[in-house]
């Protein structure tokens, strides 16, 4: 289950004796998506925080923050420098964050300062949470930042032992027949079938780059060391084309999809036909999650699949307004 999961409201929990409150939304997310593991995580947060604050000689300097699945405490280190303490459920999403952050070593992403492997607790370089990329008004500027960060992040070879896109894609194809049987809309079934065919075509060469897997606008923050730094990766080894979807769907604009896709594939130096197929793989993955959760399929995801399947896009000329005779996928 990816960090892109939806949220719901809950009640605030007080972490007694540690100087912070556990945000209600994090409590609700953990109870809904992680169930018993999530409840145990929430219940254990005060003790875990106290342990790491003492072990790493940290002092809390502000209110708790949170992502979809993690609690983040702003802290000062013993030398007075700023950092954040990030605590999360130790599961298949978080287990490789240490390896990924070490491999990137601060190139386009926050640096890992200390790491507790059994709990996946992290001490991280602090970026400026008050300056998310989502606050940039010009969406084209924001997508350009994403593209430049992705180019740097995916230039790093995937370290050994990190989960691989080949396995995830194979699992998606295994789950597809059962999912199709649950879809009543014939056009939606056809769309997901096309996505499955696209994944089958590229699966024999799944790639070997280190992917962020969740680089949306709110996972990029302004910083001091660099203008922008990525945060909160879900490291995955595979083809960079699988990392483009968040920037296509964030602040969605129908007329911007192909422009964004072309910009990112240009900056990353990707083959557009191959990248389109892996992007359809993300549509398939997100749709399978929706079906698993009993949620309706997302119209914007299916629209992106339609655009990449039926439209043609051009080379770099006048903001990619020219058209090639060959489409990404057969009609």
Residue 262 annotated to the active site: no
| Three-state secondary-structure class, residue 280 | helix
Which residue reads 């302004």 in tokens? 222
| Contacts with 157 (C-beta within 8 Å, 6 or more apart), sequence order | 103, 208, 209, 210
Q: How far apart are CA 20 and CA 90, in angstroms?
A: 21
| Three-state secondary-structure class, residue 175 | helix
Catalytic residue among 128, 214, 218, 239: 214
**Which among 239, 236, 231 has a CA at the least distance from the CA of 215?**
231
Taking each helix axis as running N to C, give the angle between helix 299-310 and helix 272-293, from 0 to 180 degrees, rounded to the nearest 10: 160
The DSSP call for residue 158 is P
Q: How far apart are CA 79 and CA 97, in angstroms?
A: 25
Q: Say how many C-beta atoms besides its own lie within 10 A of residue 317's C-beta.
A: 8
Q: Say how many C-beta atoms besides its own lie within 10 A of residue 301's C-beta.
A: 24
| Contacts with 143 (C-beta within 8 Å, 6 or more apart), sequence order | 247, 256, 260, 263, 264
**Which among 42, 43, 53 has a CA at the least distance from the CA of 19?**
53
C-alpha distances out from residue 249 to 9, 80, 139, 282, Å: 23, 39, 11, 11
Q: What are phi and psi of 147, to 5 degrees?
A: -60, -45
Give the H or E element holding residue 232.
none
Q: How far apart are CA 163 and CA 168, in angstroms?
A: 8
Give the residue numbers annotated as catalytic, written as ranges: 214
């Amino acid at each position: 289950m990816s960090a892109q999961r939806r949220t719901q409201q809950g009640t605030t929990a007080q972490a007694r004796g540690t100087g912070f409150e556990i945000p209600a939304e994090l409590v609700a997310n953990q109870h809904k998506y992680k169930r018993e593991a999530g409840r145990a995580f929430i219940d254990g947060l005060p003790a875990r925080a106290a342990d790491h604050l003492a072990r790493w000689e940290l002092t809390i300097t502000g209110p708790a923050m949170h992502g979809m699945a993690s609690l983040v405490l702003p802290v000062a280190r013993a030398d007075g420098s700023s950092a954040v303490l990030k605590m999360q459920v130790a599961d298949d999403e978080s287990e490789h964050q240490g390896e990924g952050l070490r491999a990137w070593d601060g190139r386009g992403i926050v640096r890992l300062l200390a790491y507790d492997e059994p709990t996946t607790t992290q001490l991280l370089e602090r970026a400026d949470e008050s300056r998310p990329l989502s606050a940039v008004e010009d969406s084209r500027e924001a997508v350009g930042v994403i593209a430049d960060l992705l180019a740097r992040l995916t230039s790093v070879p995937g370290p050994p032992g990190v989960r691989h896109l080949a396995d995830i894609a194979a699992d998606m194809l295994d789950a597809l027949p059962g999912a199709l049987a649950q879809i009543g809309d014939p056009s939606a079934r056809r769309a997901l079938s096309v996505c499955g065919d696209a994944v089958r075509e590229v699966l024999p060469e799944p790639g070997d780059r280190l992917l962020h897997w969740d680089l949306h606008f709110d996972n990029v923050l302004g910083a001091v060391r660099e203008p922008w730094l990525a945060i909160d990766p879900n490291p995955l080894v595979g083809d960079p084309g699988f990392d483009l979807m968040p920037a296509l769907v964030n602040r969605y604009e129908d007329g911007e999809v192909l422009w964004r896709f072309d910009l990112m594939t240009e900056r990353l130096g990707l083959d557009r036909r191959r990248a389109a197929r892996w992007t359809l793989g993300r549509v398939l993955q997100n749709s399978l999650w929706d079906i698993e959760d009993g949620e309706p399929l997302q119209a914007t995801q299916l629209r992106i699949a339609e655009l990449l399947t039926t439209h043609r896009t051009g080379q770099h000329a006048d903001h990619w307004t020219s058209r090639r005779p060959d489409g990404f996928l057969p009609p």
